[in-house]
Amino acid sequence: MSIPIAVATPLAERAFISALDLFKVGIGPSSSHTVGPLRAARAFVDGLDRDGLLERVASVECILFGSLGSTGVGHGTPGAVLAGLAGYAVETVTRDDVERVTAEAESGMLRLAGRHPITLRTAPSSPLGQVRATGTVIPAPAGAGDTVDSWLIFAPREVKPRHPNALTLSARDAAGALLAESTYYSVGGGFVEREGDDDGPGAGSTPVPYPFDTAVELLRLCRANALSIAELARANEAAVRGEAATSDAFAAIAQAMDDCIDAGLSATGTLPGGLNVPRRAAGMAERLRGLDAAGERDCSLEWLQAYAIAVNEENAAGGRVVTAPTNGAAGIIPAVLRHALDVIPVPDRARAREEFLLVAAAIGSLIKANASISGAEAGCQGEVGSAASMAAAGFAHLLGASNEQIENAAEIAMEHSLGLTCDPVAGLVQLPCIERNAIGAGKAVAAARLAMHGDGTHLISFDTVVETMRQTGDDMSRKYKETSEGGLAVNVVEC
Beta strands in 32-190 (DSSP E): 59-65, 109-112, 116-119, 130-131, 152-155, 165-172, 178-188
Is the domain of 127 the same as that of 237? no
Output the domain CATH number for residue 112: 3.30.1330.90
pTM of the model: 0.90
For residue 43, the model assigns a pLDDT of 97
Non-local (6+) Cβ contacts of 261 within 8 A are 307, 310, 311, 334, 335, 338
Residues 57 and 119 in one domain: yes
CATH number of the domain that residue 447 is part of: 1.10.4100
Determine, yes or no, domain membership for 391: yes
Together in a domain, 386 and 476: yes
Say yes or no: 251 and 159 in one domain: no
- Going by C-alpha positions, the residue among 374, 376, 416, 368 that lies closest to residue 392 is 416
Task: Specify whether 306 is located in the same domain as 455.
Answer: yes
Domain housing 78? 33-138+146-187
* 212 and 171 in a common domain: no
Asked whether residue 214 falls in the same domain as residue 173, the answer is no
Whether residue 231 is contained in a domain is answered as yes
Return averaged pLDDT per consecutive 10 residues of the chain, 495 residues in all: 38 74 94 95 98 97 95 93 97 94 93 96 49 34 42 93 95 97 95 81 70 98 98 98 96 98 98 96 98 95 98 96 97 98 97 98 98 96 98 98 98 98 95 98 98 97 98 97 93 71
- Position 329 in a domain: yes
Tell whether 271 is covered by a domain: yes
How many helical (H) and strand (E) elements, i.e. helices and strands, does the chain have? 18, 10
pLDDT at 274: 93
Collect all residues with Cβ–Cβ distance below 8 Å to 289 and sequence separation of at least 6.
none
In this structure, are residues 429 and 382 in contact, taking their beta carbons and an 8 Å threshold? no
* Same domain (yes/no): 154, 263: no
- Is the residue at 199 inside a domain? no
Rounded CA separation 52/141 (Å) = 35
| 417, 464: one domain | yes
Question: Residue 13 carries which DSSP code?
Answer: T
CB 86 within 8 A of CB 109: no
Q: Are residues 362 and 469 in the same domain?
A: yes
The amino acid sitting at 424 is P
Instruction: Answer whether residue 28 is part of any domain.
Output: no
Inter-residue contact 385 to 419 (CB < 8 Å)? no
- Start-to-end CA distance of the chain, whole Å, equals 52
Residue 6 is assigned to a structural domain of this protein:
no
Same domain, 128 and 218: no
Asked if 58 and 157 sit in the same domain, the reply is yes
Domain total in the chain: 2
Displacement of CA 470 from its chain's centroid (Å):
17
> Residue 62: exposed, middle, or buried by beta-carbon count in 10 A (0-12, 13-18, 19+)?
buried
What does each C-alpha distance from 210 to 203, 217, 348, 389, 463 come to in angstroms? 17, 10, 26, 22, 18
Please tell me what DSSP assigns to residue 347: S
Among positive and negative, which fits the CA dihedral 329, 331, 336, 341?
positive
Q: Going along 81-162, which residue ranges are E strands?
A: 109-112, 116-119, 130-131, 152-155
Q: What is the pLDDT of residue 150?
A: 82
Question: Tell me, what's the pLDDT at 365?
Answer: 98
Is 111 inside a domain boundary? yes
Cα atoms in the Cβ-side hemisphere of radius 13 Å centred on 179: 22
So what's the pLDDT on residue 494? 55
Decide if 489 contacts 432 (C-beta within 8 A): no
Burial (0-12, 13-18, 19+ Cβ within 10 Å), 345: exposed
Query: Taking the alpha carbons of 481, 482, 483, 489 in that order, is the dihedral positive or negative?
Result: positive
